[in-house]
């Protein structure tokens, strides 16, 4: 039986921390469980999962769906689409069977790319290579989780660029059912369908096709849709992330309607030890003034009251109500001051 390779190329950058990555983790498992009930899918579909942030990593090598065991998904710093695509092409080179004079190779692979942000690196070279080597040999479906992804870059990779309105848990359930149905239909009709891809009908309330003719690539080294801060717990020394999401408001000043930008707190999330494995150590230093940040969470590791305190060494950690606190980054013990309302100070932000 010829194989139908399915690759999930998943953005696990810091902006995915929290509910998005949890829903992806659960959704992929739901897809596989559903495929295991379909006899045709069991015989044809093979699955691989690749995660990318500042670096890329194979989370699950290409394998049949019976052998599938739900993996854990890491979080890393940055959104290097270049590294993600380079890694994907290496996997395709190594694992996709080509047709020979004596045997038929795999069916045309299907790739689902999930991303919620903008690339934090220059993608020109890798996109050129993708077009030359793989664009016509695979079916790529790029899905923007929310409206913040750079559709202009995705449009250079494929004509199938979709906008997933990840508004609530029901929308995630709908989305992963749609992916499952598209894989099942493709596997059933693959011999009669020349392209090997049959996407299910879209529900425009949750999933719609993006007009790529109106999307231009945007060069950006920091995902400006989010502000994500890397911090450490003073009590346990564990790392955690504080995540804010961009909000645009309107203010009337001098008779003019002006847009104002701020970042609203999403939450604080403890990190696993593999965070730095997928992070780009060469990323530059980027700053944000705390006056732009709305809301301050408690520490997700020890419940200290303030998760956003900055030591003179420049790093962020949590503090409680104690007069003296010790920085878990540099070990210095100091007295901390509270910034007056309306004031702010610059802190290091990740690439997001």
Quote the pLDDT of residue 161: 92
Q: How far is CA 45 from CA 92, 163, 186, 257, 341, in A?
A: 15, 25, 10, 54, 57
- Unique residue bearing structure tokens 């769906």: 65
- Unique residue bearing structure tokens 């047709």: 99
- Unique residue bearing structure tokens 């993600």: 84
What per-residue string of b and e applies to 167-206 under the rule 16 or more CB within 10 Å gives b? eeeebbebbbebbbbbbbebbbebeeeeebbbbbeeeeeb
What per-residue string of b and e applies to 27-51 under the rule 16 or more CB within 10 Å gives b? bbebbbebbeebeebeebbbbbbbb
Quote the pLDDT of residue 217: 58
Binned average pLDDT, 10 residues per bin, the chain of 352 residues:
93 89 91 92 94 95 92 90 96 94 91 87 93 94 81 90 84 91 88 79 86 64 82 96 89 74 92 86 77 93 93 94 93 87 83 72
Token readout for 9 is 């190329």
Q: What are phi and psi of 106, to 5 degrees?
A: -70, 160
Residue boundaries of the structural domains of the chain: 4-214, 226-348
Q: Which CATH architecture has domain 4-214?
A: 3-Layer(aba) Sandwich (3.40)
Token readout for 307 is 């998760």
Q: What angle do CA 59, 63, 69 make, to 5 degrees?
A: 60
Write 246-253 long-range contacts (CB < 8 A, 24+): 246/148, 247/294
In sequence order, the 6+-apart residues with CB closer than 8 A to the CB of 258 are: 250, 251, 252
Q: Please state, in angstroms and rounded to a whole number, the distance separating the CA atoms of residues 130 and 128.
A: 5
Q: Please state, in angstroms and rounded to a whole number, the distance separating the CA atoms of residues 229 and 244.
A: 9
What DSSP string describes 84-110?
HHHHHHHHHHHHPPPP-SSS--PPPPE
Sequence-ordered alpha helix ranges (H) in 36-157: 39-44, 81-95, 124-133, 151-157
Q: Please state, in angstroms and rounded to a whole number, the distance separating the CA atoms of residues 351 and 77.
A: 6
Pairing of strands 324-326, 239-253: unpaired
Q: What angle do CA 225, 227, 230 make, to 5 degrees?
A: 145
Q: Please state, in angstroms and rounded to a whole number, the distance separating the CA atoms of residues 41 and 185.
A: 9
Quote the pLDDT of residue 282: 64
Token readout for 281 is 């150590």
């Amino acid at each position: 039986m010829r194989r139908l390779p399915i690759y999930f190329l998943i953005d696990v950058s810091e902006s995915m921390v929290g509910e998005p990555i949890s829903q992806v983790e659960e959704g992929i498992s739901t897809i596989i469980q559903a495929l295991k009930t379909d006899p045709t899918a069991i015989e044809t579909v093979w699955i691989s999962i690749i995660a990318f942030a500042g670096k890329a990593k194979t989370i699950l090598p290409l394998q049949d769906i019976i052998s599938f065991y739900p993996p854990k998904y890491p979080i890393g710093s940055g959104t290097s689409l270049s590294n993600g695509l380079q890694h994907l092409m290496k996997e395709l080179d190594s694992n996709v069977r080509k047709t020979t004079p004596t045997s038929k190779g795999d069916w045309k692979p299907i790739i689902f790319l999930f991303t919620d942000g903008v690339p934090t690196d220059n993608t020109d070279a890798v996109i050129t290579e993708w077009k030359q080597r793989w664009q016509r040999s695979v079916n790529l479906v790029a899905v923007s989780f929310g409206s913040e992804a750079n559709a202009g870059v995705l449009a250079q990779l494929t004509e199938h660029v979709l906008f997933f309105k990840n508004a609530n848990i029901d929308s995630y359930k709908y989305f992963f059912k749609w992916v499952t149905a598209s894989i099942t239909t493709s596997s059933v009709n693959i011999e009669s369908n020349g392209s090997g891809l049959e996407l299910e009908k879209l529900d425009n309330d949750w999933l719609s096709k993006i007009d790529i003719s109106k999307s231009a690539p945007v060069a950006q080294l920091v995902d400006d849709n989010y502000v994500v801060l890397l911090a450490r717990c003073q009590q346990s020394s564990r790392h955690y992330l504080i995540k804010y999401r961009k909000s645009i408001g309107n203010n009337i000043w001098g008779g003019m309607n002006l847009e104002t930008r701020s970042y609203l707190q999403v939450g604080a999330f403890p990190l696993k030890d593999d965070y730095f494995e997928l992070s780009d150590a060469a990323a530059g230093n980027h700053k944000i003034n705390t006056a732009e940040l709305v809301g301050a969470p408690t520490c997700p590791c020890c419940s200290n009251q303030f998760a956003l305190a900055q030591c003179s060494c420049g790093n962020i950690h949590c503090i409680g109500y104690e007069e003296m606190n010790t920085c878990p980054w540099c070990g210095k013990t100091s007295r901390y001051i509270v910034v007056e309302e309306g004031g702010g100070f610059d802190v290091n932000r990740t690439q997001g």
